[in-house]
Amino acid sequence: MLQINKDFSLDAFEKGLTAIEGGEDVLQLPNRIVANALGNMTSLMQLIVTWARQASDNAILRLHATSENDIALKNFAHTSFGITALNMANKVEFVSGALLVVKTLS
């Protein structure tokens, strides 16, 4: 599992790219990032896009939220990296392992 911490840095970006190259299919993201520079946030979003493009169909985005009603999910979805991850992921699961059901327009 590629686990990103709140103190995401460019070192973590490089380690993340190595993990993705190794075939890591599970990405766990925090609800917020304490970024010291704009470049860190941009790097995280690039890491998410790279993970989503290279991951298999079984790739999972793991959230720290417990359910669809958890404020943590709302907070996550209101971040630039959160909305990027939610839009790019094939599957999204809560910390419990339950899948987030995505409703689509028909």
pLDDT in tens, 56-106: 888 899 999 999 999 999 999 999 999 999 999 989 999 989 999 765 555
* CA separation for the pair 31, 105 (Å, rounded): 27
- Residue 106: what pLDDT? 52
Q: Is residue 61 part of a domain?
A: yes
The amino acid occupying position 64 is: H
Pair 33, 81: CB distance under 8 Å: yes
Pairing between β-strand 2-3 and β-strand 26-28 as defined by DSSP bridges: parallel
Pair 72, 66: CB distance under 8 Å: yes
pLDDT in tens, 37-63: 668 889 999 999 999 999 888 889 999
Q: Is residue 20 part of a domain?
A: yes
Number of domains within the chain: 1
Q: Is residue 102 part of a domain?
A: no
Q: Is residue 49 part of a domain?
A: yes
- Residue 37: what pLDDT? 66
Q: Is residue 6 part of a domain?
A: yes
- Residue 34: what pLDDT? 83
Q: Is residue 98 part of a domain?
A: no
Q: Is residue 105 part of a domain?
A: no
The amino acid occupying position 76 is: F
Q: Is residue 25 part of a domain?
A: yes
Task: Indicate the angle between helix axes 10-21 and 38-54, nearest 10 degrees.
Answer: 10
Q: Which has the closest alpha carbon to 27: 7, 67, 56? A: 56
The boundaries of the domain holding residue 55 are 2-93
32 has pLDDT over 80:
yes
